[in-house]
Amino acid sequence: MSILFSCTNMIRHYDAEEFAAAVAEGVKVVDVRTPEEYSEGYIPGAVNVDWNGGDFLAGIDAKFDESDTLYIYCRSGRRSAAAAKALKKAGYKVFNLLGGIQAWTAAGKNVDMDFKYAESLIPSGESVPDFELKDLAGTPVRISDFRGQSVVLVFWASWCPDCRAEVPALKAMFESADTENVQFVSVSFDRDFDTLCKFVEENELPGVQLFDPAGKKDSKVAADYGVKWIPSLYLIDPEGKVVVSTVVAWKIADALDGKMPVSAHVAGPCSDEGCAI
């Protein structure tokens, strides 16, 4: 592993790959950007302490011990470099992400978007409401039909760029999952049924594909499940209770111990057809 050292303060600097390897081990990560920047997406597990928010060291001391090793980052690396010097002087061992979260996303690493976009989703531990929609063959399907199995439930639409971007990840997740015990169910808010069918066929989308002709804004199912942004995803246990509710597919894959391509979200999910490209 190549570690760069500052000649003056011995701050350790990691590139995105090295930083990601450390994050995977469960290290303590600090995002020193503003709360507004943090809410737009952050490195998974990162705690926000704003470098420019007042008494930075007091904020750090309130959340960490001096014996802790901290892995810090900002947007481009400038603020975190300054913060690293202050932390080092205060006695902390510090690793700084070179290039900040911009380098992280450029390397294809995951960004957690749930802080902003998953607030309205049904939380973990609560039971999901039942619903009935038709599949692409016109057969009525109820979510309760899958009791006794875990369910990956995906709310999406083919007009949604981020939904389309998640297709390889969802297909990889399906291929690696134990499909005898895990069902994949997708609810589409497409307005045009033929467009949906064509997209499903051309992209060979797996699992049970359901169509909600009401569209996202007028959908009772969307309202019942708190879906304000798509894609929104749930992992539901065999008893019909939420295990994970999220707007990023990698969290479902993590919960299933599945392998899937990384997809970094930086612009945010879609709220309606206005975000289509």
Q: Which residues are catalytic?
A: 74
Q: What is the maximal distance between C-alpha atoms in the chain?
A: 69
3-state secondary structure of 27: coil
DSSP of 123-141, one letter per residue?
PTTSBPPP-EEEETTS-EE
40 touches 62 (CB < 8 A): no
Question: Residue type for 52, please?
Answer: N
Residue 25: CB partners within 8 Å, gap ≥ 6? none
Give the separation between CA 228 and CA 272, rounded to whole angstroms.
Answer: 9
276 touches 190 (CB < 8 A): no
Does the CA dihedral 13-10-94-25 come out positive or negative?
A: positive
Name the nearest CA neighbour of 37 among 73, 63, 75.
75
Residue 255: CB partners within 8 Å, gap ≥ 6? 235, 243, 244
Give the separation between CA 266 and CA 248, rounded to whole angstroms.
Answer: 11
> Residue 176 class from Cβ within 10 Å (0-12 exposed, 13-18 middle, 19+ buried)?
middle
Give the separation between CA 84 and CA 224, rounded to whole angstroms.
Answer: 45
